[in-house]
Amino acid sequence: MRVALFLTCVNDTLYPDTGRAVVKLLTRLGVEVDFPMAQTCCGQAHYNTGYRHEAEPLARHFSDVFAEYEAIVTPSGSCGAMVRELYPRMGERARAEGRGDTLAATLAPVVPKTYELTEFLVDVLRVTDVGAYYPHKVTYHPTCHGLRGLGLGDRPRRLLRAVAGLELVELPGADECCGFGGTFALKNSDVSAAMGADKVRNAESTGAEVLCAADNSCLMHIGGTMTRLESGMRPVHIAEILASTKEGPAS
């Protein structure tokens, strides 16, 4: 199977390790991975901040780049939800504004074949034990758009439970937002910081060394809060845990 990796602009720029982990993991599972170099951004930050018209050309660009692939895999619940949940809505809105079906028709092909990483592993590859080894105590934070937008359910936890050496501990208040929320973190920084601090305190109460999630944007906020609060915990993307083996352990 040949899939396109939609890494997201945030991962590409700030978290290349996550991208390398996805390539390593999928290749190990026999998937041929391609990274279309023309990919940029799904347009989520624009859309969610109220700049829908600025997001439209980015969505069109996304569709142009990825339409030819059998499946598109992304290590981000939130960018995955943007494509799957909000691209159809952008098409509907354009139609409601009397701009015809062009946008909807352009975006439609990529919508059903875009998968968040854990969803792709469990639903498409039908694997929960990916042969990983990660000897650490880990707690899992289900990010909002993965949890409620994509409905990832217990897929990430099932994958983590199958990792050799990993001790998974439940995070109190796991379903509560960490306070990132894209531009929310800047526009309402006091509330955002308070939410982040509570998330970190809940994570610390588990005694875990690592907080893992399937979205680096949320991890950027949680991790930045952890170091500021000198918590000693580390944020790690789930892809890096799943890619880790005895021979090639994740750092």
Partner 1 sequence: MSGTFVGMPAFPEAAREAVGDRTLRANLRHATHTIRAKRAAAVAEVSDWAQLREAGKRIKDHTLRRLDHYLVQLEEAVTAAGGTVHWAADADEANRIVAALVKETGESDLVKVKSMATQEIGLNEALEAEGIRAYETDLAELIVQLGRDRPSHILVPAIHRNRGEIRDIFAREMSAWGRPAPEGLTDTPAELAEAARLHLREKFLRAKVGISGANFMVAETGTLVVVESEGNGRMCLTLPETLISVVGIEKIVPTWRDLEVFLQTLPRSSTAERMNPYTSTWTGTTDGDGPRTFHLVLLDNGRTDTLADEVGRQALRCIRCSACLNVCPVYERAGGHAYGSVYPGPIGAILSPQLRGTGSEIDASLPYASSLCGACYEVCPVAIDIPEVLVHLRERVVQGGPVTREGNKVVVKPAKGHAAERAAMRAARWAFGRPGALRAGQRLASRTRGLHPRTLPGPGRAWSASRDLPAVPAEPFRDWWQRTNGGTADGTSGEGAAK
Cα–Cα dist 1/88, whole Å: 26
Quick check: 194 binds partner 1 (CB under 8 A)? yes
Question: How many residues in the shown chain lie near partner 1 by CB under 8 A?
Answer: 79
Please, which residue, 7 or 214, has the CB nearer to partner 1?
A: 7
Q: Does 174 bind partner 1 (CB under 8 A)?
A: no
Q: Does 46 sit near partner 1 (CB under 8 A)?
A: yes
Tell me which residue has tokens 């217990």.
154
Note whether 1 binds partner 1 by CB under 8 A: no
**How large is the angle between the packed helices 52-66 and 87-96, nearest 10 degrees?**
120
Contacts of 97 (CB under 8 A, 6+ apart): none
> Which residues in the 63-122 window bind partner 1 by CB under 8 A?
89, 93, 96
As measured in angstroms, the least distance from the Cβ of 29 to partner 1 is 11
Stretch in the footprint of partner 1 (CB under 8 A) among 18-26, 104-112, 158-166, 206-214: 18-26
Contacting residue, 6, 15, 134, 140, with partner 1 by CB under 8 A: 15
Q: Does 33 bind partner 1 (CB under 8 A)?
A: yes
Return the structure tokens found at 128.
């929960």
Please state, in angstroms and as integers, the Cα–Cα distance from residue 88 to each residue in 56, 103, 107, 180, 209, following that order.
Answer: 11, 9, 7, 24, 39
Q: Is 228 in the site for partner 1 (CB under 8 A)?
A: yes
Q: Does 150 bind partner 1 (CB under 8 A)?
A: no
Question: Is 40 a residue that touches partner 1 (CB under 8 A)?
Answer: yes
* Ramachandran quadrant class, 127 (left: phi over 0; alpha: psi -120 to 50; beta: rest): beta
